Amino acid sequence: MADAGKIKLELRTFSENDLDGKFLAVVATASGSLNELIYREAQRRGVLCNVVDVPEYCDFFYPAVVRRGDLQIAISTTGQSPSLAQKIRQQLERQFGVGYAAWVEQLGATRRLILASDLDKETKLELLHSLASREAFEAALAKIPALSTRVEFGVEHEELSAQSEEHEGKSLSGGRGAGRSELLTVKALRLLRTADAVLHDDLVAPEILKLIPSTAQVHNVGKRCGKKKILQAEINCLMVALAASGLRVVRLKGGDPLIFGRAGEEIESLRRNSIPFEIVPGVTSAMGAAAAAQIPLTHRHASDALVFITAHRAKGCIPRTQTGASLSAAERL
């Protein structure tokens, strides 16, 4: 971030002059004595201070926030247990899905019309309360495309909570349909909305990335031809490190994660480090293209086999098709 000019980074010791003209200070060093020194100096100067993970040295706290457009819900434990605040935030994000953003906007427009009408005060109040009910939201789901997130409300919250706990500290690999965000599976969508960290490829559409919780870590680990921003070994290490720290990690790929991707190498790395994981199938481009063209790939009168062939292997590996070796039954499938 410093190299990109997004932040100013100075690697040196602390000086009292660092607090000159400042309104707010966040302190996050590994030295308890230094943290206290900075806090005391900030108090003397009237500078608001937050010493990370030390509630008694905090003038303010960062709440966990659920944002759904104009709807914002903040959760705070006044620094006693940020982990609990995050868990409650995750539960609320499942309870209040992305559809609430469009619904709140609609409610605002309707509210202004009602308040400007000639109705009496009691009728206006009764209408506003009825429009903000759960029943009204459910009815709106079928009318507004932006609100069509029924998957969140088709399952009891207790069941969702249990599913969430099941994946804590896991790494999950999911895919979406090539070219169309609508081909993201229901399960991949549910896991994406409860993710603590997401590692995504360049081919993932922007509208998919908007479904990621605002509090989740997002890492673009895409590798395009001739433009490698990150090595595969680095991706493997990042997945392991995030999952080992207890975060729910989602590795989001375009298409199906097990076809034409590096899922095999990532799986090996997770297994070596005893990280539990789950594979969520996606719609590979072969299937997506065939569906778009309305061409059955295994028409019983025209074809009896379907073969996926990759254009290349890793350096040092000779494709079997070049060695003259025949494909096994498994490879043909």
CB count within 10 Å of CB 281 equals 15
Alpha helix segments (H runs only) across the chain: 32-45, 82-95, 99-115, 121-131, 134-141, 157-166, 186-193, 206-209, 232-244, 263-272, 285-293, 320-323, 329-332
Q: Is 136 in a helix, a strand, or coil? A: helix
Which is catalytic among the residues 87, 124, 187, 223?
223
What does the block give as tokens for 127?
């209408």
227 among known catalytic residues? no
The answer for residues whose C-beta is within 8 angstroms of residue 9's C-beta and 6 or more apart is 1, 2
The sign one gets for the Cα dihedral 115, 119, 122, 124 is negative
Q: Cβ distance 257 to 175 under 8 Å?
A: yes
DSSP 145: G
70 among known catalytic residues? no
- Whole-angstrom Cα distance, residue 259 to residue 49? 50
Buried b (16+ CB within 10 A) or exposed e, 246-267: ebbbbbbbbbbbbbbbbbeebb
- Whole-angstrom Cα distance, residue 121 to residue 310? 69
- Whole-angstrom Cα distance, residue 183 to residue 2? 38
DSSP 205: -
Which is catalytic among the residues 196, 201, 253, 256?
201
List the one residue out of 267, 198, 210 whose CA is nearest residue 236: 267
**What DSSP string runs through 58-105?**
BSS---EEEEETTEEEEE--TTS-HHHHHHHHHHHHHHS-THHHHHHH
Looking at the annotation, which residues are catalytic? 201, 223
